[in-house]
Amino acid sequence: MSARTSDPEAYLRQPAGVAERFERIRQRPVILSVRHLSKDFESDGHRRPVFEGLTLDIHRREFICAIGPSGCGKSTLARIVAGLDEASGGEVLLDGALVTGPGPDRGMVFQGYTLFPWLTVKANVMFGLEMGGQAPAIAEQEARQWLDMVGLGKFENAYPHELSGGMKQRVAIARALANGPRILIMDEPFGALDAQTRAQMQGYLLQIWRKVDVTILFITHDLDEAAYLSDRILVMGANPGRVVEFIENPVPRPRSAEQFQSPEFLALKRRLEEHIHPPMEVEEVDLLPMVKLTHADDEVE
Amino acid sequence: MATAHRDWLGLKAELPRKRRTQLTLLSFLLPLGLWCVVSYVPWIWHPLVRITSPGEVDYFTEDLDVPRGDFTSECAKARAAGQTLPEGVRVNPVYLPPPHAVARAFVTAFQTPPRLPNEPWLHQSLGHSIRTIVWGFVASSLLGLPLGILCGTYRFAARLQEPFIEFFRYLPAPAFGALCVAVLGIDDAPKVAIIFVGTFFQQVLVISNTVRKVDPALIEASQTLGARGWKLVRRVIIPASVSDIYTDMRILLGWAWTYLIVAEVVGTMSGITYFINQQARYRNFDNVYAAIAMIGIIGFSSDLFLAWLGSVLFPWKRKSRGTSGIAKHSLSTSASPSLEATVQTP
């Protein structure tokens, strides 16, 4: 095993089923196309680039995870795709049409849940449908179906403040999916959850994704999460933000927690670690100029 | 003390419900107790002597109140001259009636017919005051609410309106009294106008500030769900801020009460202010206190009612229920430095 993991190219070797699957994915139509996208922002009168020259294609029903060090602009990318921020240059095409602002064809799930506190769980899920001009009776019926799908049918009349974090995020996912978006953008959606709930939510998300015709762009800083969920991983670098590598995930589907020890998973994780925590960046911690304040025989190490 | 380390003063946690009720009661009983002590303990204060029998002091008459110093010096003079000594009891000045007299006045003030045939009864005076407040507040809200929401939602509207309103709110409402009378006559219209001027400009600024505090993430979330334009305002911005706007309105209504007294002396004096003035002129200070207390009771109880109503209307806010909503909902924003002085009614 050690021989394989030490091979720096190990993550590129895909098991036969996986390679075949990627071949099929490449045949699918491109849903989201990002062309030479750049974003500047102004601070103290200086223009600083967040990222420049981002170009990538995402195919229908792909699960894309974007990772990168803080400041690489992965969240900004998500917000531009969602239409919440404006790009400084380049363009985003959804099904070939230019993205100019937020719209119901691109659903978004935020880290902070952003459920409407004055609406019940059901009314939250109905919101987008009603905005789209759906009749209330039909919207209600559809909302119920989505809530059943995320396992919260019993809570349809609860208010968001009565739910746990994981449940809130499931409602937020149902709310976004009820609109039938072409792509679901998730900006560190599980970042505020504890480890156990997060693992559970990842499982839920994979189940939902299998059942629904939706493409997912998932922003995270958790390498395990990216390796567990994704088809491809968009690795971004900082200063300025750019695409470092777009990795095809060699771990076979369906995914399970046991795969965390599989050679493919470990090889992929190793590659991601190299990108995110390059070895030369780990510096020796300087010794602090501190006088010892304990007794000589009171060593803790 | 060290063994039973309890948070008696409520430094860290909310006090138990029972203790809170006790303290609320006590907050009213303490000043009332002080008033009783000053009124009923004869050797505390009581700076006057009421003559019960004038003796042979020529200017003393029965029921005359004289300062204690004068009484003792007259007594000394009478004793020296061998005259009959005057007698009297120590009393407080007429402007400090004892609690029982004010309590009695609460009933008798309503039963006593007015002295002059065309004067209003007390309940008519109170009704007149409440009508003035309600009209002024409704007129202000009809204009102020939409304008406040507009300014809070769109920075364009805020830039266009707020600088002028910010200037105008420094102009004291009473200063417009003469102008209002000149334009609107001497009846109720100028009074309503004073309350309008006093409320409206603060209202626009306070409400636009509240609306501006709507979590931008909620607006973004609704945009990704397809909300835009008027639908975004109606379905997201207004519901997201409505419970805080409601709290603002409660505070502003309390404020309108403070403008009432000013408004009622404009033109022909009317309402509760007229009643208080007349009673003070007749030296019925028990009625004066009763009338002032009535304003307080009406204001305070209507606020309690509105607080309860708020918890019914906005069930998602029930975590923070009751009057504490006002404390949580900070008004120390740029728009309202003077709002902090808004204790409910005089």
pLDDT digits (tens, 9 = 90+) for B126-142: 999 999 999 999 999 99
Nearest CA in chain B to A108: B224
Residue where one domain finishes, among candidates B57, B91, B125 = B91
Residues 6+ positions from B97 with CB-CB distance below 8 Å: B39, B105, B285, B286, B289
If asked whether residues B52 and B159 sit together in one domain, one would say: no
Range name among B166-170, B209-213, B330-334 with the lowest pLDDT average:
B330-334
Q: What is the dihedral of CA A134, A136, A138, A139, to 10 degrees?
A: 70
Give the residue from A120, A131, A217 with the most B CB atoms within 10 Å of its CB, the best one to mutate: A131
Nearest CA in chain B to A121: B316
Identify the pLDDT of residue A281: 52
Identify residues of A whose CB sits under 8 angstroms from chain B CBs.
Answer: 82-84, 101-104, 106-108, 110, 112, 114, 116-119, 127-128, 130-132, 159-161, 175-176, 179
If asked whether residues B78 and B181 sit together in one domain, one would say: no
- Could you tell me the pLDDT band of residue B326, with boundaries at 50, 70 and 90? very low
CA distance B308 to B145: 22
- Whole-model pTM: value is 0.80
CA distance B158 to B113: 52
Residue B95: closest CA among B283, B276, B277: B283
Interface residue B312 vs chain A (CB under 8 A): no
> The CATH number of the domain where B123 resides is what?
1.10.3720.10
* Structural domain range at position B188: 111-341
CA distance A143 to A158: 14
- Could you tell me the pLDDT band of residue A293, with boundaries at 50, 70 and 90? confident
Range name among A93-107, B3-17, B233-247, B330-344 with the lowest pLDDT average:
B330-344
If asked whether residues B283 and B152 sit together in one domain, one would say: yes
Give the one of B225, B314, B315 whose C-beta lies nearest to A131's C-beta: B225
If asked whether residues B76 and B204 sit together in one domain, one would say: no
If asked whether residues B204 and B57 sit together in one domain, one would say: no
Q: Do A127 and B225 touch (CB under 8 A)?
A: yes
Encode burial over B195-206: b for 16+ CB neighbours within 10 A, e otherwise. Answer: bbbbbbbbbbbb
CA distance A194 to A59: 31
Task: Answer whether residue B220 is part of any domain.
Answer: yes
Task: Answer whether residue B23 is part of any domain.
Answer: no
- Could you tell me the pLDDT band of residue B338, with boundaries at 50, 70 and 90? very low
Residue A272: closest CA among A223, A237, A225, A231: A223
Overall domain count for chain B: 2
Please state the rounded mean pLDDT for residues B171-194.
Answer: 91
Distance from CA of B154 to the nearest CA of A (A): 17
Express as a percent the part of chain B with pLDDT over 90: 58
If asked whether residues B149 and B62 sit together in one domain, one would say: no
If asked whether residues B181 and B234 sit together in one domain, one would say: yes
What does R_g of chain A's alpha carbons equal in angstroms? 22
Position A300 pLDDT exceeds 50: yes
User: Bridge partners of A33?
Assistant: A57, A93
Q: Which two tokens stand for residue A275?
A: 């990108």
Q: Do A127 and B215 touch (CB under 8 A)?
A: no
User: Bridge partners of B239?
Assistant: none
If asked whether residues B289 and B321 sit together in one domain, one would say: yes
Identify the pLDDT of residue B5: 64
Distance from CA of A119 to the nearest CA of B (A): 8
Distance from CA of A285 to the nearest CA of B (A): 39
Contact B88, B51 (CB under 8 A): yes
Identify the pLDDT of residue A71: 83
- Span A211-263, pLDDT tens digits: 899 999 999 999 999 999 999 999 998 888 889 899 999 999 888 888 889 98
Contact B225, A171 (CB under 8 A): no
Identify the pLDDT of residue A279: 63
- Span B94-122, pLDDT tens digits: 899 999 999 999 899 888 888 888 888 88
Element (DSSP H or E) covering residue A245: strand A242-248
Position A171 pLDDT exceeds 90: yes
If asked whether residues B72 and B154 sit together in one domain, one would say: no
Q: Do A160 and B316 touch (CB under 8 A)?
A: yes
Contact A269, A224 (CB under 8 A): yes
Task: For residue B92, give the 3-state DSSP assignment.
Answer: coil
Q: Which two tokens stand for residue B82?
A: 């061998």
Longest dimension (CA), chain B: 102
Element (DSSP H or E) covering residue B2: none
Position B152 pLDDT exceeds 50: yes
Distance from CA of B217 to the nearest CA of A (A): 6
Q: Do A179 and B223 touch (CB under 8 A)?
A: no
What residues of B are in contact with residue A192 (Cβ under 8 Å)?
Answer: none
Position B331 pLDDT exceeds 90: no
Q: Do A103 and B236 touch (CB under 8 A)?
A: no
Position A126 pLDDT exceeds 80: yes
Range name among A105-119, A204-218, B296-310, B329-343 with the lowest pLDDT average:
B329-343
Give the residue from A76, A118, A122 with the most B CB atoms within 10 Å of its CB, the best one to mutate: A118
Q: Which two tokens stand for residue B107?
A: 């009933």
Task: For residue B202, give the 3-state DSSP assignment.
Answer: helix
The interface predicted TM-score of the complex, written ipTM, equals 0.86
CA distance A102 to B225: 8
Query: Which strands make up the sheet holding B48-53, listed edge to edge?
Result: B65-67, B48-53, B87-91
If asked whether residues B123 and B228 sit together in one domain, one would say: yes
Give the residue from B214, B218, B223, B224 with the most A CB atoms within 10 Å of its CB, the best one to mutate: B224
CA distance B238 to B316: 15
Q: Which two tokens stand for residue B2?
A: 């060290």
Q: Most confidently modeled of A215-219, B7-11, B106-110, B174-178?
A: A215-219
Interface residue B24 vs chain A (CB under 8 A): no
- Could you tell me the pLDDT band of residue A106, with boundaries at 50, 70 and 90? very high
What residues of B are in contact with residue A175 (Cβ under 8 Å)?
Answer: 225
Position B27 pLDDT exceeds 60: yes
Residues 6+ positions from B186 with CB-CB distance below 8 Å: B267, B268
Identify the pLDDT of residue A284: 66
Distances (CA, A) of B104 to A17, A241, B110, B289, B297: 94, 80, 10, 11, 16
Domain boundaries, chain A: 2-105+181-276
Distance from CA of A137 to the nearest CA of B (A): 18
Distance from CA of B221 to the nearest CA of A (A): 6
Q: What is the mean pLDDT of chain B?
A: 86
Task: Answer whether residue B105 is part of any domain.
Answer: no
Task: Answer whether residue B19 is part of any domain.
Answer: no
Nearest CA in chain A to B216: A114
Position A288 pLDDT exceeds 60: yes
CA distance A6 to A51: 32
What is A2-105+181-276's CATH superfamily?
P-loop containing nucleotide triphosphate hydrolases (3.40.50.300)
What residues of chain B, 224 to 263, have a C-beta less than 8 Å from chain A? 224-227, 231, 235-236, 239-240, 242-243
pLDDT greater at residue A111 or residue A43: A111
CA angle, corner B251, sides to B246 and B253, nearest 5?
90
CA distance B216 to B236: 11
If asked whether residues B86 and B131 sit together in one domain, one would say: no
Q: Cβ–Cβ contacts within 10 Å for residue B219, how many?
A: 18
Give the one of A114, A118, A128 whose C-beta lies nearest to B316's C-beta: A118
Nearest CA in chain B to A79: B220
- Span A60-100, pLDDT tens digits: 999 999 999 888 889 999 999 999 999 999 999 999 999 99
CA end-to-end distance (rounded Å), chain B: 41
What residues of B are in contact with residue A103 (Cβ under 8 Å)?
Answer: 224, 226
Task: Answer whether residue B54 is part of any domain.
Answer: yes
CA distance A253 to A255: 5
Q: Do B226 and A118 touch (CB under 8 A)?
A: no
Note the helical H segments in B185-228: 188-212, 216-224
User: What does DSSP assign to residue B83?
Assistant: P
Task: Answer whether residue B1 is part of any domain.
Answer: no
Task: Give the count of Cβ contacts less than 8 A between chain A and B.
Answer: 69
Give the residue from A76, A115, A116, A119 with the most B CB atoms within 10 Å of its CB, the best one to mutate: A116
Q: Do A104 and B239 touch (CB under 8 A)?
A: no
If asked whether residues B215 and B305 sit together in one domain, one would say: yes
Residues 6+ positions from B128 with CB-CB distance below 8 Å: B120, B270, B271, B272
What residues of B are in contact with residue A130 (Cβ under 8 Å)?
Answer: 235
Residue type, A159: Y
Identify the pLDDT of residue A13: 84
Identify the pLDDT of residue B335: 36
- Span B262-313, pLDDT tens digits: 899 888 888 999 999 999 998 889 999 999 999 899 989 999 999 999 989 9
Nearest CA in chain B to A175: B225
